[in-house]
Structure 1
Amino acid sequence: MASGAGTQSPNQILAGRYATALYEYAEEAGSLDRVIDEMDALGRLIDESPEFRSFLANPLIDIQEGTKAVRAVLQEQGFGTPVQDFVGVVTHNRRLFFLRSIVQAFAALVDKKRGVVRAEVTSAHPLTDLQSTQLRARLTELGYGRVQIHEAVDPSLLGGLVVKLGARLYDTSLKSRLQRLQYAMKGAA
């Protein structure tokens, strides 16, 4: 068993196998960069289309009809043959409901192969270019080589940042500080 596999769920392991198969196929075919871009686009398509997500989650879809429908969507969106064929295999194996997990596993595999660390950054307001640059520099100082920042905005944080790097979480949000202060005050009363 691969190291760290004990901490992964069976679904994560299965998604990793699909992702690895696609990565190796695309690398061998010389279309890795295009497949990487298209898998990112597929993830966005799934995230941004409630209808597509609903379709993928429907366990009652006939394999042949599902394959035709997914291929039509991917063709319309300009996806190349490798990604269309790959999604066809996923559909044939009755794993359409699992496609988003496979896309995530593929992105994680690409990051690992390229030495990239993804930082999920949530802030109360969008970061300025200067703030993003400073954050990237600080993360580099902490030993994270190539950092790719993915931003989200959550006004309920009030201020500060929440940075997630793999299993590590750095929470400097005003919301968390106020909660800690509230708990400390309850303990002192």
Structure 2
Amino acid sequence: MATDNTSVDGVAGRYASALFDLANENSAVETTESDLVNFQALLDESPDLVRLVRSPVIAADDQARAIAVLLEKAGIGGLTANFLKLVAANRRLFVIQDMIKVYRSLAAKARGEITAEVTSAFALNDEQVASLKETLKASVGKDVTLQSRIDPSILGGLIVKVGSRMIDSSLKTKLQNMKTALSGAGA
């Protein structure tokens, strides 16, 4: 049962775990994960949508109506659409991104994979993703699912988080370290 995992604490964990269990019972784990990935992509592309899901001042009915229209236009239906509508009705949309992360981790664990969060300054191409997956697989000894995020503020390089380990090779961090070293050398 998914709830045996300690990473499912809190509101996001309970909702994601319940969704995973329901999807598993209905043999819809992959379909649900794909729909959630699509919804996350919509969030990544639209600051307005992020404001909609995070705003405590927007009425639950208004959020639910907006989400229903968005889901229909995005082609997200079935279990995932019902789940997202329930989350909106229960005023829990503000943690939907965490719910998606936890669900994807549960799905990856069920497939025998490990999830790695990767932050890059720009979108990685297929060759870069494949290379990164192979490198991580060699490091951790299991297949790796990547959850990519784009953050132009890191300037270049990658920030990779696998479990409790984080590797920060971003240009921003390297420049900050250099600045610290140089300011310390002049003292």
CA distance in 2, matches of 1:63, 1:132: 38
The structural deviation recorded for 1:42 is 0.9
Cα shift readout 1:1-49 (whole Å, capped 9, x = no counterpart)? 96746xx8xxx52101100111111221232221111011111112211
Which deviates more, 21-30 or 129-138? Answer: 129-138
Specify the alignment match of 1:16 in structure 2.
Answer: 13
| CA shift in 2, pair 1:167/1:62, >3 Å | same
Mapping for residues 73-152 of structure 1, pairs under 5 Å: 73-122=70-119, 132-149=129-146, 150=148, 152=150
User: Does the 8 A contact of 1:125 with 1:155 survive in 2?
Assistant: no
User: Does the 8 A contact of 1:120 with 1:164 survive in 2?
Assistant: yes
Quote the RMSD (CA, aligned, Å).
3.3
The structural deviation recorded for 1:134 is 4.5
* TM-score normalized by the length of structure 1: 0.74
Identity %, equivalent residues: 32
Q: Which runs of 5+ in 1 are unaligned?
A: none
CA distance in 2, matches of 1:88, 1:53: 16
Name the amino acid aligned to 1:52: L
2:163 is the counterpart of 1:166? yes
The structural deviation recorded for 1:164 is 2.3
Specify the alignment match of 1:30 in structure 2.
Answer: 27
Q: Which runs of 5+ in 2 are unaligned?
A: none
Which deviates more, 15-24 or 132-141? Answer: 132-141
Name the amino acid aligned to 1:83: T
| CA shift in 2, pair 1:30/1:54, >3 Å | same
| CA shift in 2, pair 1:141/1:80, >3 Å | same
Q: Larger radius of gyration, structure 1 or 2?
A: 1
The structural deviation recorded for 1:177 is 5.3
Which deviates more, 109-118 or 173-182? Answer: 173-182
SS in 1 for 2:114: strand
The structural deviation recorded for 1:129 is 6.0
User: Does the 8 A contact of 2:159 with 2:169 survive in 1?
Assistant: yes
Cα shift readout 1:78-117 (whole Å, capped 9, x = no counterpart)? 1112122111211221212222221222122212222222
* TM-score normalized by the length of structure 2: 0.75
CA distance in 1, matches of 2:154, 2:89: 43
2:66 is the counterpart of 1:69? yes
| CA shift in 2, pair 1:13/1:126, >3 Å | closer
Which deviates more, 48-57 or 115-124? Answer: 115-124
Specify the alignment match of 2:51 in structure 1.
Answer: 54
